[in-house]
Amino acid sequence: MSAQKSQILASGRRKCAGASVQMKPGMGKIKVNGKPFEAYFTTEALRGYISQPLQVTETLGHVDIDATVRGGGMSGQAGALRFSIARALIKKDENLRPVLKGSGMLTCDARVKERKKTGRPGARKRFQFSKR
């Protein structure tokens, strides 16, 4: 029964990507879609971006995270994962909310790609105007 209570579930979205996180007390291991964190996100910039909520709240080596990400690209998946980790930390300890909110990690970035309009080459681009 206590194992169920210690496991925290949260989800987050960014662009076309979605992430769900299972967080439990542990040694700081992070798995994404069954792979180690470093193998899934190969660039150091994305890994640093994702681990920001853990660094700000000083819980980097204290929780194990098992994440599932789907849709979008690497950048969108990283943003969704960062948001879901921040939400899971709030569920774990409500006192972390001011720290995460002040860092801007609880704000859902709702920007998505604008759709292409009919009769145009892109979302906003127009064909070249010809006066004569």
**Would you give the distance in Å from CA 78 to the centre of its chain?**
5
Please report, rounded to a whole number, the percentage of residues in the chain having pLDDT higher than 70: 96
State the average pLDDT over residues 15-37.
94
Tens digits of per-residue pLDDT, 78-125?
999 999 999 999 999 999 999 999 999 999 888 999 999 999 999 999
State the average pLDDT over residues 20-28.
94
CATH class of 2-102: alpha beta
pLDDT at residue 5 is higher than 70: no
- Give the predicted TM-score (pTM) of the model: 0.87
How many CB atoms within 10 Å of residue 62? 13
Interatomic CA distance for residues 63 and 83, integer angstroms? 16
